[in-house]
A and B are shown apart, each in its own frame.
Chain A
Amino acid sequence: MSVIVEPDEPPGAHPPAPPLGGPYRSDTLPDPPMIVLTDRWKLERSYTIEVAEKAGAYVTARRALTEMEPAKLIDEVKAANVRGRGGAGFPAGVKWSFVKPVAGKPVYLVVNADEGEPGTFKDRSIMELDPHRLVEGCIISCWAIGAHVGYVYVRGELALSIRRLERAIAEAREKGYLGAKPFGRDFPIEIYVHRGAGAYICGEETALLNSLEGKRGEPRLKPPFPAVEGAFGAPTAVNNVETIASVPDIVKMGGAKWAALGQLPNDGGSRIYGVSGHVKKPGLYEAPVGITLRDLIYGLGGGIRGAENGRTLKGVIPGGASTPILRPDFLVHAPDEKHPLHKWHGKSEIDVPLGVDTMRALGTMLGTCCAIVMDDTVDMVEAARNLMRFFHHESCGQCTPCREGTAWIERILTAMVEERARPNELELLVDVSNEIMGTTICALADGATMAMLGFVKKFPEELRAYVKRSKAPGLTAGLGTGRALPVLGASSDVVPPGRLVLPRGESGTQRGGAS
């Protein structure tokens, strides 16, 4: 797979931002807002059991443990179509059904609270503002999958989250919701907080398991998947905080009803969206699955900061650093009626609903649904360099392509920013990125290179401008790779002038007019 960039694309003139007079209106954004998962966030001392219980906490857990059978609970979660909220979007109910007890081995529930994807800050808020929802979710989930012990792996830096979660667990234990007989059911459940020590990679589920076992947080080869061989060699369900925190509402409302909160097929419920960067009201917002980035930026986020001074939206990273960037002036190109995005053919990329499958079809990823918004003052090469420095720093070093490749990408971008890049350095950047992809144990390198290629696809002119400005003497192209580099635009593909060609087999978006 190779990305071909038309060599001399003129520097992009950015079409004006969509006019927005008065309050933002949209068919996809409910008014008044939908509040399910965050209903207790606004209460004072919402993290204490007194306040949480008054607002309905543990009612569902009591019902689940006293009246419902595990199989029924798994069916409800399946029917809820809840796609994992940690970024990969795997259906949680299906994941649970893979966890089968093995003779002589316990089953574990592990909650992934190692939130660290740049742009993402939702799990921290769940733990700080409503830890009892997470504890209640853990109790129900443990009962559903047959786990007596659940570990919540919390990122080490999140001291307040850890404190409030520890407190919530203690309070639930005092009340008899945890321990030997939760709610009178003869099924002991213990929840422990395991504090991490600072490593982005521990958000990868198998790295997290290694870290939980007291080892370096290096990802494991899969298979075996954690559902078969997870924590301490036993079957384990690893779920994100938000996924588990959704479980009480799923059980309370019934899976099908909860699924119907969402606006997309096979992707149900309500979820927490984050928006950061150049918007007027950055923060966290709850909304149904299926709102658009435009809803998130102009509706919930209040629009671009400084719009009155002419600031416009230049690009948006939809769901964390690993998800390729989108541009509002790029239009969806899906003329084929069978294409999953046909409904949005000719519309802006930011008008496609935020769903696991829709974002994948768009060539990016939904990730964690926490968008990073950048206005027209942002230098995209600097932005890319910032993120690639992150991935270089956070590579665990286990696989050579990732350890060396992420460093190499950062070096190239640094050379560009410092205007000492060699003439073919953009081609080298693309080549290195392509070579890393798919060659590593975990998805960190794939995430880094997809994000990098996203910048190349969407902002080639900026990268090229840096190369042109560079004052480095014309060294031999390909120095360091040991082989000739592909010359961009010289592939057998016919590249129409002024157009960006995406890799074959991927749905495309193309540069269009104002959206």
Chain B
Amino acid sequence: MTFTLSPEREKLLDQIIARYPEKRAACLPALQLCQEQTGHIEEAAVAWVAEKLALSTAQVQGVVTFYTMFQQKKVAPNVVWICRTLSCELMGAKAVQQALEKKLGCHAGETSKDGKVTLLKAECLAACGYGPMMQLNDEYHLALTPEKAVEIVEAAKDRARDLPIGDPGGWQFGPQGGGTR
């Protein structure tokens, strides 16, 4: 199996590489672009990044396994992270998780039966004053109740997700690191 980054993404990656004195520094951005393209980090993508940045596949794989945001297995088009750290926990994060598990018919760490949502537990997502909270793809949803969480996730299931390249939500990396509209 081979992997190639799409031409637009590769062009973007080349611009990112130019921001650093060493090629290797673009390892995280490169992997992020790969994941954006295919939803998770494929084995072939690791080899592609290694080749691109003149690293060994072991070095790249070491990076992939270190960071929680790199998905090593295929995930659903929608990923829900539920914060289970203390502040959110005090405000009822467990009930939110249980409600979602019941609705989706899967445990945290698994993908729903219809294959549309992957439910994951997260550690602190820096929204402590507004718990319980979850991250749905790139959006934060704050001050949840179990019912509200279920409603948000259900509504997202069939929403089309056609995100621009580079950064979710309309801002792309520009040639010198700034964004372009």
Binding site for B on A (CB under 8 A): 106, 115-121, 123-124, 155-160, 162-163, 166-167, 169-170, 172-174, 178-179, 190-200, 211-217, 232, 274-278, 282-284, 317, 321, 370, 372, 374, 378, 383, 386-387, 390, 393-394, 396
B124 at the binding interface (Cβ < 8 Å): yes
Q: Given the complex of chains A and B, what is the CA–CA distance between A372 and B24 in angstroms?
A: 39
A121 touches B68 (CB 8 A): no
For the complex, would chain A's binding face be called helix, strand, loop or mixed by DSSP majority?
A: mixed
Beta-carbon nearest neighbor of B25 in chain A: A214
Contact-residue bracket for chain B: 35 or more
Q: Given the complex of chains A and B, what is the CA–CA distance between A237 and B49 in angstroms?
A: 30
Pick the contact of A118: B85, B138, B140, B174 (CB < 8 A).
Answer: B85
Q: Which residues of A contact B125 (CB under 8 A)?
A: 157
Binding site for A on B (CB under 8 A): 19-22, 24-29, 31-32, 53, 55, 59, 62-63, 66-70, 81, 84-87, 89-91, 122-131, 135, 138-140, 167-171, 173-174, 176-181
User: Measured between C-beta atoms, what is the minimum distance from B179 to chain A in Å?
Assistant: 4
User: Measured between C-beta atoms, what is the minimum distance from A166 to chain B in Å?
Assistant: 4
**Known pairs A158-B126, A282-B129, A378-B90; A211 contacts B28 (CB<8 A):** yes
User: Measured between C-beta atoms, what is the minimum distance from B108 to chain A in Å?
Assistant: 14
Q: Which residues of B contact A160 (CB under 8 A)?
A: 138, 140, 169
Beta-carbon nearest neighbor of B173 in chain A: A166
A199 touches B21 (CB 8 A): no
A387 touches B22 (CB 8 A): no
Sample (26) of A-B pairs whose CB atoms are under 8 Å apart: A116-B124, A121-B127, A124-B127, A156-B32, A157-B81, A159-B139, A163-B167, A166-B171, A169-B177, A170-B171, A172-B178, A173-B178, A178-B178, A194-B25, A198-B68, A212-B25, A214-B53, A215-B24, A232-B22, A274-B129, A277-B90, A372-B86, A383-B86, A386-B84, A386-B85, A387-B85
Q: Given the complex of chains A and B, what is the CA–CA distance between A119 and B70 in angstroms?
A: 24
B178 touches A118 (CB 8 A): no
Beta-carbon nearest neighbor of A173 in chain B: B178
Q: Which residues of A contact B170 (CB under 8 A)?
A: 163
A170 touches B174 (CB 8 A): yes
Q: Given the complex of chains A and B, what is the CA–CA distance between A178 and B174 in angstroms?
A: 14
Given contacts A159-B169, A274-B128, 8 further A-B contacts (CB under 8 A): A156-B69, A160-B138, A170-B174, A191-B177, A199-B66, A200-B124, A213-B25, A383-B86
